[in-house]
Amino acid sequence: MLEPGSTIGILGGGQLGRMLAMAAAQLGYRCHIYAPQKDCVAAEVSASFTSAEWHDREALAAFAQGCEVITYEFENVPTEPLLALPADLLAPGPRALEVAQDRVREKRFVENLGGRPAPFAAVDHDSDLVPALERIGTPGILKTRRDGYDGKGQWTITGAADANGIRVPHTGAVYERKVAFECEFSVVMARGRDGAARFWDSTRNRHDDGILAHCELPPPAIVNAQVGAARDLAEKVATALGYVGVLTLEFFATEDGPVFNEMAPRVHNSGHWTIEGAVTSQFENHIRAICGLPLGDTGSVAHRMVMDNLIGPDALDIRRHCSDPTAHVHLYGKGEARAGRKMGHVTRVG
């Protein structure tokens, strides 16, 4: 167990790192942020900040020497430089990143554990695309095999004609058939160093233009009927990875049961409501897990709650958001409010 006053290293400087650092401070820990950007919102609430590239081995080694444990706030941290760090320093371990960073590997990994993704095919070259459409069927979505988030790096394909002009990235892509679903939901869980697992209630999630916009509890009946199977898969994933921390799996609720969409080896946007809406938030339990502390109660404090992301130029109207006395407003301290950029979120409980 890490004693209060120890330093937690966080790879990445975005809003998830910011909220992790705030939760860590509440438990008496100091945070050191490592991120390539010079100006990052996580550094504003942390004790230390190193701005250096991911492949700067000297800077990364110096950063690691001052940390008792290191975690990450997003899954696209390159794994190769992390392998030079002591194996017991990183939580979750690098294997979770290796699986989550490659969409084809991720889907095969989940299949091997008994999960069911949408029908898919690897598309490594331009010449692979049309055969993939013929084998998997349309309509579907072509996604970059690596990187891409919030709807970026995706192409909707309704028929073979849509494939004309598409150039497959050099890192490859995956084509998956669109799934007929009633709604989307996620399983957010925490796993401690002792293997203990805790789950938060699953929200119904709505995406606008590929970006999570809205989460709500309680979810519809179909989610409640399928969440048990989804949790079983999430725990199998966590166990197979030797996972420590918060892990999220996203699903489609369909007539035939839950269909796996993707995983995130980190705290997740669909768990932001837990800050006010659960006995212990996802951020606090992540810190507890990586520091070797007992996990906190994940029960919800009210039967109904909603979380809305604040996206784009209208997001910073704090007076309007605070005019609702039930609103818990979180602004992330970002600068320019661009279209499609998450600037904060609002949670309403009860």
107 marked ligand binding residue: no
Q: Tell me whether residue 243 is annotated as binding.
A: no
**pLDDT band, residue 160 (cuts 50/70/90):** confident
149 labelled ligand-binding: yes
Check the annotation: does 262 bind a ligand: yes
Arithmetic mean of pLDDT over the chain: 95
On whether 32 is known to bind a ligand per the annotation, the reply is no
Which residues are CB-neighbours of 251 under 8 A, at least 6 positions away? Answer: 184, 185, 186, 187, 226, 230, 258, 259, 260, 261
Ranges of each domain in the chain: 7-90, 119-177, 183-349
Report whether pLDDT(179) > 60: yes
- By CB neighbour count within 10 A (0-12 exposed, 13-18 middle, 19+ buried), where does 4 fall? exposed
Average pLDDT on 131-151 reads 87
Distance CA 311, CA 263 (A): 23
Tell me: is residue 143 an annotated ligand-binding position.
yes
Q: Is 75 annotated as a binding residue?
A: no
Are residues 287 and 334 in contact, defined by beta-carbon separation less than 8 angstroms? no
Domain 119-177 CATH superfamily: ATP-grasp fold, A domain (3.30.1490.20)
Within a 10 A sphere around the Cβ of 261, how many other Cβ atoms?
Answer: 19
Give residue 153's pLDDT.
79
Average pLDDT, integer, range 216-225: 98
Q: Is the pLDDT of residue 334 over 60?
A: yes
**Is 248:263 a contact under the CB 8 Å cutoff?**
yes
150 annotated among ligand-binding-site residues: yes
Q: pTM for this structure?
A: 0.96
Highest CATH level, class, for 7-90: alpha beta
Mean pLDDT of 316-322: 89
Is 151 annotated among the ligand-binding residues?
Answer: yes
The CATH fold assigned to 183-349 is: D-amino Acid Aminotransferase; Chain A, domain 1 (3.30.470)
The answer to whether 148 is a known ligand-binding residue is yes
pLDDT at 121: 97
111 marked among binding-site residues: no
* pLDDT at residue 166 in the model: 86
* 236 assigned ligand-binding residue: no
**299 among the known binding-site residues?**
no
Cα separation, 282 vs 18, in Å, equals 13
Query: What span, in angstroms and rounded, lies between the C-alpha atoms of 272 and 294?
Result: 21
Q: What is the predicted pLDDT for the residue at 87? A: 87
Q: What is the pLDDT of residues 56-105, one digit of tens each?
A: 999 999 999 999 999 999 999 999 999 999 989 999 999 999 999 999 99
pLDDT at 148 over 70: no
Confidence of residue 327 (pLDDT cuts 50, 70, 90): very high
